[in-house]
């Protein structure tokens, strides 16, 4: 395959690029590096120092002999650069991670909200137009999120829903009730992409991904210079990554509210395999296909309890703390979501074992000197300055 | 009331401003005049010459003794100007028409698609943030469109839907399947606004409006200098306005495909009354309320047939013509949509009578010399350059 990874400098983008390169595919990465600017804006830094993309590509070449082509392009604000990159690389598969990925960032203030939606929505619109013009038969794999669904009182299906109403039936996009401007941007992307499939015949797989955790993948482990951008701060860190970091330095785990929030989770290694399965089994012409991409569900309180127990067994001194929830979300709710599509394509999940959590804690503990404790505490409220 | 009309220079915005001013309310209008630029870009001009907003406000003052305050602000790109305007005017009701209103415009090319969605979505995001900060108890009346729903196989309800699935039930936003990037921008607005009601307690009425027709209102008829921007071209003209214009000059009515497309319609006078009813009966704190705002449904073929028959009776020589449909939409479909909420608040519809159509044709015929026939023919294809 010829695979172009958009957002190839990121936590998932860079491991994805190496994963496909290692398996003999031609890989290109496109990024504008704005995530590094956003991190600086909120005062967050990854656990490990992350070399420039250029340097990581050189290291990859040195370690494996394989090349990765790089395009430094802002796909939301430089459509011509995006078109040129696609014209030059001629992808048959495009994996699109190039979005502002943080819910708290999008709730920080007006400017960050607008930056999130404009970047994500316009970038995806530009991409769809570029594909329609230049590679209408390529397969787009777009990263969405399980958070688009919110926490409905009904079973969550995979993107579409057969409904009956007043004795008639239809197949509709699953009704969404997302919980942040970030999640809303992904809902809008999904709507726009479904339309482009319907009207232009594009082929799209929308991966509604759960909360990803994990420090390393097969390829990032090859050399320190290939590590991925692991975040533990309250803005860009996902919850389990945050909890293991807190455990590793004896900082009380920040449980928002009573921790009744239940979500789908998956290991970063499974993210890569899911994207591979989607790429190997592409959507048909005109098909907008949605997979729910997670392997297990946990409540935040359960995760905190497990991390505390395992860290304590390892000799770390740690507890969890219930903070007033900075988000507006249901404290207790039902959560039953389908995830059979990727399993039936052959996904063998890496489940969250105690050993795996222990390994993550120990791995993070080795870098504990570099952790900025101030960035662990949530300081962005969903209610903003509303009295 | 203190009513701020966003998009107050437009086809509906200007009549709305006069309507409320005539009834003793304090009215402000906000506009950036970009619609006049878009018209020039596509080579469209309104049927009547439209004086500047400043001049129309002066005429209104001269005719009625009533003042209208004016704010020239780009609410998508100048958030500070928007905040300042709201701070100065202190509205208790905001009517939001300030969006790119044309489906064909949004399908013209990548740049117009992005301009449509960025203008509409970002403008609405800025507005929501400004309201949360400055007037969280004001009532927002937002113009959406019936086109957001598409043409589902089930009954269309008013914005929300009670569904049962696998033995459980929930109340969800009605699943939408819109037919253009313009319609998609309104779906995204609705999602964003529902979230702002839920999280910030804003009060929003989303008016999912049908296709508006009509040349004049009680207030535009007071003086030529108060007329509103009536469009008959293929980009900005709505279908009935286009058909009466074609009939008035003997141009074959452009029926897209077989004309089986059925939609909800309403008279421009009813638009004003609906907005008034919404304003007099505001949404509650935290409520995202949706009204379907149309009074009758017609198929395009039915409308064409009626206009041809009535124009012929008036002595005009006219026929209709079936063109290849430039849009991608169902040729034949079910269409049953609820519209009881506004009726139960007291709306008395101006129905589409033969006399009314005859009056429109005669009114347009008086300006027939100024009509640009080249702008009547649709030249924007939904399929663009897809082979």
The ipTM is 0.97
Instruction: Name the closest residue on chain A to residue B329, using Cα atoms.
Output: A199
Residues B290/B318, Cβ–Cβ less than 8 Å: no
pLDDT at B358: 98
Chain A contact for B81 (CB, 8 A cutoff): no
Backbone angles phi, psi at B296, to 5 degrees: -150, 160
Cross-strand bridge partners of residue A96: A6, A142
Three-class secondary structure of residue B127 per DSSP: helix
Q: Could you read off the pLDDT of B105-143 as tens digits, one per residue?
A: 999 999 999 999 999 999 999 999 999 999 999 999 999
Q: Are B292 and B146 in contact (CB under 8 A)?
A: yes
Q: Which residues of B touch A161 (CB under 8 A)?
A: 165, 175
- Of B126, B154, B179, nearest to A110 by CB-CB distance is B126
Q: Report the alpha-carbon angle A46-A11-A131, nearest 5.
A: 145
**Smallest Cβ distance to B170: which of A152, A184, A195?**
A152
B187 touches chain A (CB under 8 A): yes
Residue A83 annotated as catalytic: no
b/e A215-225 (16+ beta carbons within 10 angstroms → b): bbbebbebeeb
So what's the pLDDT on residue B249?
A: 97
Going by DSSP bridges, is the β-strand pair B296-299/B262-267 parallel, antiparallel, or unpaired?
Answer: antiparallel
Question: Which residues of chain A make contact with B172, given a CB cutoff of 8 A?
Answer: 152, 175, 177
DSSP A105-160: HHTS-HHHHHHHHIIIIIHHHHHHHHHHHH-TTSEEEEEEEGGGS---SS-B-SSE
CA–CA dist A336, A151 (Å, integer): 9
**Residue B125 and residue A113: Cβ atoms within 8 Å?**
yes
Q: How confident is the model at residue B385 (pLDDT cuts 50, 70, 90)?
A: low
Q: Which of residues 313-352 of A touch B (CB under 8 A)?
A: 328, 334
Question: In whole angstroms, what is the distance from residue A189 CA to residue A187 CA?
Answer: 5
Please tell me the CATH code under which domain A2-376 is placed.
3.40.50.720
pLDDT of residue A387: 40
Residue B289: its H or E element: strand B288-293
A167 touches chain B (CB under 8 A): no
If you search the block for the tokens 């950036």, which residue do you land on? B32
Label residue B306 by pLDDT band (50, 70, 90): very high
Q: Compute the distance between CA of residue A120 and CA of residue A124 in angstroms, rounded to an integer.
A: 6
CA A141 vs CA A145, A183, A234, A279, A290: distances in Å: 13, 18, 28, 7, 10
Q: Which of 194-253 (B) contact A at CB < 8 A?
A: 194-195, 198-201
C-alpha atoms less than 13 angstroms from C-alpha of A247 in its C-beta half-sphere: 29
Distance CA A363, CA B339 (A): 60
Give Dmax over CA atoms of chain A in angstroms. Answer: 64
Environment class of B314 (CB within 10 Å of its CB; exposed 0-12, middle 13-18, buried 19+): middle
**Cβ-contact A277, A16 below 8 angstroms:** no
Q: What are phi and psi for residue B68, nearest 5 degrees?
A: -130, 125
Third-level CATH fold of B2-375: Rossmann fold (3.40.50)
Alpha-carbon distance of A278 to A95, in angstroms, equals 10
Q: How far is the C-alpha of A114 from the C-alpha of A181, rounded, in Å?
A: 9
The pLDDT tens digits of the residues spanning B245-254 come to: 999 999 999 9
Q: Does A267 touch chain B (CB under 8 A)?
A: no
From chain B, the residues in CB contact with A178 under 8 A are: 191, 195
Query: Is A19 noted as a catalytic residue in this protein?
Result: no
- pLDDT exceeding 70 applies to what percent of chain B? 99
d(CA A137, CA A202): 7
Query: Which tokens is A114 given?
Result: 């607008």
> What is the mean predicted confidence (pLDDT) over B249-268?
97
pLDDT digits (tens, 9 = 90+) for B329-370: 999 999 999 999 999 999 999 999 999 999 999 999 999 999
Query: Could you say which of B129, B154, B181 has the minimum Cβ distance to residue A163?
Result: B154
> What pairing do the DSSP bridges indicate for beta strands A26-31 and A296-299?
unpaired
For residues B279-288, average pLDDT: 98
pLDDT averaged per 10 residues, chain A (length 387)? 98 98 98 98 96 98 98 98 98 98 97 98 98 97 98 98 97 98 98 98 98 97 97 97 97 97 98 98 98 98 98 97 96 96 98 97 95 95 71
**pLDDT of amino acid A259:** 97
Strand A160-165 versus strand A168-173 pairing type = antiparallel
Is the pLDDT at B257 greater than 50, yes or no? yes
Strands (E), chain A: 2-6, 26-31, 68-72, 93-96, 139-145, 160-165, 168-173, 203-209, 211-213, 253-256, 262-267, 288-293, 296-299, 320-323
Q: Is A86 helix (H, G, I), strand (E, B) or coil?
A: helix
A44: closest CA among A384, A376, A323?
A: A376
**Helix, strand, or coil here: B319?**
coil
A201 contacts in chain B (CB < 8 Å): 386
């Amino acid at each position: 395959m010829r695979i172009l990874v958009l957002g190839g400098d990121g936590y998932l983008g860079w491991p994805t690029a190496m994963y496909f390169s290692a398996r003999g595919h031609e890989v290109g990465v496109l990024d504008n590096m704005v995530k590094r600017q956003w991190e600086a804006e909120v005062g967050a830094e990854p656990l490990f120092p992350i070399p420039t993309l250029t340097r990581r590509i050189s290291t990859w070449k040195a370690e494996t002999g394989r090349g990765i082509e790089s395009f430094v392009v802002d796909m939301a604000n430089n459509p011509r650069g995006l078109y040129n990159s696609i014209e030059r690389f001629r992808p048959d598969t495009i994996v699109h991670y190039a979005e502002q990925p943080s819910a708290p960032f999008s709730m920080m203030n007006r400017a960050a909200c607008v930056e999130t939606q404009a970047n994500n929505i316009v970038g995806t619109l530009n991409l769809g137009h570029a594909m329609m013009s230049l590679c209408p038969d390529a397969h787009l794999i777009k990263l969405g999120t399980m958070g688009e669904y919110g926490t409905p009182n009904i079973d969550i299906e995979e993107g579409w829903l057969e409904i009956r109403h007043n004795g008639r039936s239809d197949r509709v996009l699953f009704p969404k009730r997302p919980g942040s401007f970030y999640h809303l941007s992904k809902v809008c992307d999904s709507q726009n992409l479904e339309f482009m499939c319907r009207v232009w015949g594009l082929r799209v797989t929308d991966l509604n991904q759960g909360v990803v955790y994990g420090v390393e993948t097969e390829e990032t482990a090859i050399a320190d210079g290939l590590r991925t951008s692991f975040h533990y701060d309250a803005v860009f860190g996902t919850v389990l990554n945050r909890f293991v970091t807190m455990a590793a330095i004896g900082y009380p785990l920040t449980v928002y509210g009573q921790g009744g929030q239940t979500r789908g989770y998956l290991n970063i290694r499974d993210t890569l395999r899911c994207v591979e399965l989607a790429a190997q089994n592409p959507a048909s012409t005109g098909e907008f296909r949605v997979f729910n991409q997670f392997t297990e569900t946990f409540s935040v309180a359960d995760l905190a309890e497990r991390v505390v127990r395992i860290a304590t067994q390892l000799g770390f001194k740690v507890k969890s703390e219930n903070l007033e929830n900075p988000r507006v979300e249901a404290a207790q709710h039902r959560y039953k979501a389908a995830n059979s599509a990727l399993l039936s394509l052959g996904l063998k999940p890496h489940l969250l074992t105690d050993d795996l959590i222990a390994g993550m804690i120990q791995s993070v503990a080795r870098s504990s000197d570099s952790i900025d404790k101030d960035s662990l505490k949530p300081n962005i409220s969903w209610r903003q300055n509303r009295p």
